[in-house]
Amino acid sequence: DTITIMDIDFVNTTQKELLQNHIAPRLEAEKKSFIVTANPEIVMQTREDPRYKKSVQSADYVTPDGVGVLMAAKYLKLPLKERIAGYDLMLDLLQYANEHKLSCYFLGAKEEVNEKAVAEVKKQFPAIHIAGRHHGYFDIDDETITSEIERSKADLVFVALGLPRQELWISRHIDKFSKGLFMGVGGSLDGLAG
């Protein structure tokens, strides 16, 4: 169930439904997923950069993360159910991972921010297995990072590389992974690090 606005298919669901009916079954089946929580900057970037737009269009789920898209949907008489924000969804996913003892990899942000964010995850979500972590200042084509993540067998990979790098990194490399939920999280690791 999606609503297309500016060539992007936005999921028309609540965050709870998205997690329960879509993400959880895919995680259980170890089916790969690419999630974009499209905030206004992401939507603008898709309008300016065709390569980035393609990347976002290749995602399995694009959520509306901003009132602008919700208003546009209402105007088109195709109202979307709910805003699903990146930080909120990440916290729900961490909660889910904690409950199901899944493993998470944290890619991106500055080294000290990444380290602090992961320490915070360990504190708040002690049952999560930390599959690994790496700061976000590397070449997007660097295969050593990709191999390390693949070897880690992470269930969830949070990618905080800023725009447009995070979605480009995911769409460029996702075929190399055998499993994993991949999600661009923007400044969320900075948020977690506090």
Q: What is the contact surface with ligand UDP in residues (CB under 6 A)?
A: 41, 108-110, 113, 136-137, 160-163, 165, 186-187, 189-190
Q: Which CB sits closer to ligand UDP, 180 or 186? A: 186
| Nearest-approach distance from CB 166 to ligand UDP, in angstroms | 7
Q: Give me the sign of the Cα torsion angle 10, 137, 174, 92.
A: negative
- Is the backbone of residue 144 left (phi > 0), alpha (psi -120 to 50) or beta? alpha
Give the Cβ contact number of residue 112 at 10 Å. 10
Structure tokens that stand for 39 in this block? 């905030």
Could you tell me the smallest distance in angstroms from the CB atom of residue 104 to ligand UDP? 16
Beta pairing partners, 151: none
CB of 42 to ligand UDP, least distance (A): 8
Q: What is the DSSP letter of 187?
A: T
Cβ contact 105:133 at 8 Å? yes
* Separation between Cα atoms, residue 123 and residue 8, nearest integer Å: 37
Q: How far is the CB of 125 from ligand UDP (least distance, A)?
A: 19
- Which residue's C-beta sits nearest to ligand UDP? 136
Least distance (Å) between residue 162 CB and ligand UDP = 3
Nearer to ligand UDP, 84 or 189 (CB): 189
Length of the chain, in residues: 194
Nearer to ligand UDP, 68 or 78 (CB): 68
CB nearer ligand UDP, residue 125 or residue 162: 162
Tokens of 168: 């480009």
Residue with smaller CB distance to ligand UDP, 32 or 110: 110
